[in-house]
């Protein structure tokens, strides 16, 4: 069974740029959630995708957007990067229909300078 994978591992961007992060869900999981984890904080929910539709969104501005593909992989796009966007971005996949037992990928460390 393949676990959740994310790419890239690390990324350095300049303020104002755009970034795309990628996630492949665990085998058999069709629900993908994205979280942002700032240093010393718990993960904060960005949004969730189920059957290629956004299935809930946290308190993040519209410049955070996403996609889910037919193979259940997902992308997180962030436009107009700000310094405060520097964080660990985590993708989690779960079994059909809800938030039960979410399994995280290794994360993407984004640094905005």
Footprint of other proteins on this chain (CB under 8 A)? Answer: 33, 35, 40-45, 48, 55-56, 58, 88, 90, 92, 98-107
> How many other CB atoms sit within 10 Å of the CB of residue 54?
13
Between 1 and 14, name the residue whose CB sits nearer to other proteins: 1
* Beta bridge partner(s), residue 72: none
Between 66 and 107, name the residue whose CB sits nearer to other proteins: 107
Q: Find the shortest distance in angstroms from Cβ 16 to other proteins.
A: 28
The Cα–Cα gap between 30 and 26 comes to: 8
Between 14 and 62, name the residue whose CB sits nearer to other proteins: 62
- Nearest 5 degrees, angle CA 89-CA 95-CA 100? 75
């Amino acid at each position: 069974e393949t676990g959740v994978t994310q790419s890239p591992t690390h990324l350095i961007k300049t303020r104002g740029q755009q970034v795309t992060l990628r996630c492949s869900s665990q085998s058999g999981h069709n629900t993908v959630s994205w979280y942002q984890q700032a240093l010393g904080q718990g993960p904060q929910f960005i949004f969730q995708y189920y059957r290629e539709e956004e299935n809930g969104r946290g308190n993040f501005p519209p410049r955070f957007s996403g996609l889910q593909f037919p193979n259940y992989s997902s992308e997180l796009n962030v436009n107009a990067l700000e310094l405060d966007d520097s964080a660990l971005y985590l993708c989690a996949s779960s079994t059909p229909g809800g938030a039960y037992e979410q399994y995280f990928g290794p994360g993407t460390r984004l640094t905005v300078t």
